[in-house]
Amino acid sequence: MKNIKELSFTEYFNSKQQLLEKAEDTPRIYSVYELHAYKKVPLKESYDDDNKFYISFKPKDQIKILWEYEDIYYPTARNFVVISEDGQETYYPCWGSKKLLKWVLTNTDEIEYED
């Protein structure tokens, strides 16, 4: 694979176009979940942030996750929204998508949610 400095403008432009087309084709779905156990999960304030912190949840708390379906069996988690009485706070998961998906399937039930 070429270094970005070694790409010609045409190669760079074509690769950028391919990425944009792929991004438009990838389905993104928000799913809302209700926890049924006392749990905590590590999160970050932004993708670039290396500082993780834990948020504790109790039964009946709700979260909303944006899943990007590049792979039908293991979607990629793009953000993690904590729903509370005060509103919604968006964070980013520290765990990989497979681990987060396993955590969600084990500790939550998917629910219908209206904003």
Domain boundaries, the chain: 26-111
User: 1: which residues sit within 8 A by CB, 6+ positions away?
Assistant: none
Each residue's pLDDT tens digit, 27-78 = 888 899 999 999 999 999 988 888 999 999 999 999 999 998 877 778 888 8
Q: Cα(104)–Cα(111) distance, rounded to whole angstroms?
A: 12
Query: In one letter, which amino acid is 97?
Result: S
Contact 40, 54 (CB under 8 A): yes
- Classify 102 as helix, strand or coil: helix
Phi/psi region, residue 15 (left: phi>0; alpha: psi -120 to 50; beta: rest), is: alpha
Contact 91, 44 (CB under 8 A): yes
Tens of pLDDT along 2-22? 566 677 888 888 888 877 776
Q: Up-side HSE of residue 28: CA atoms within 13 Å toward CB?
A: 10
